[in-house]
Amino acid sequence: MNHGGASDHDPRQDLEPGELAPADLPEDKPHPEYRINIYRDWCKSCGICAAFCPRQCLSLDAEGAPVVDKADRCTGCRWCELHCPDFAICVREVAKAVDDEAKG
């Protein structure tokens, strides 16, 4: 029952699969960046890495090979790396340069 004019509709039901609700979005604070490397010679284009990526950082090209689409969305969970049967994908944190002001 609806009380006080509030809607019973949950706005999270309108989200696309994999899309984060506003309350689930990370705050605007510094976060690590990650690099996703795909070793093409080892990859058999099975698509498992793209299927397991919770942030849809990877997609498949016309031949079915994985492509890093949205590297900025990567949280470093390494699900793609852990599930790759050929060890053809590697996720590593990008080392950031420290400002001279921050050192002193």
Chain segment 40-59, per-residue pLDDT in tens: 999 999 999 999 999 999 99
Residue 7's pLDDT band (cuts 50, 70, 90): low
Q: Rounded CA gap, 6 and 9, in Å?
A: 9
Q: Rounded CA gap, 38 and 55, in Å?
A: 17
Contact 89, 52 (CB under 8 A): no
Question: What value does the mean pLDDT take over residues 74-82?
Answer: 96
Q: Rounded CA gap, 34 and 37, in Å?
A: 10
Contact 19, 71 (CB under 8 A): no
pTM above 0.85, yes or no: no
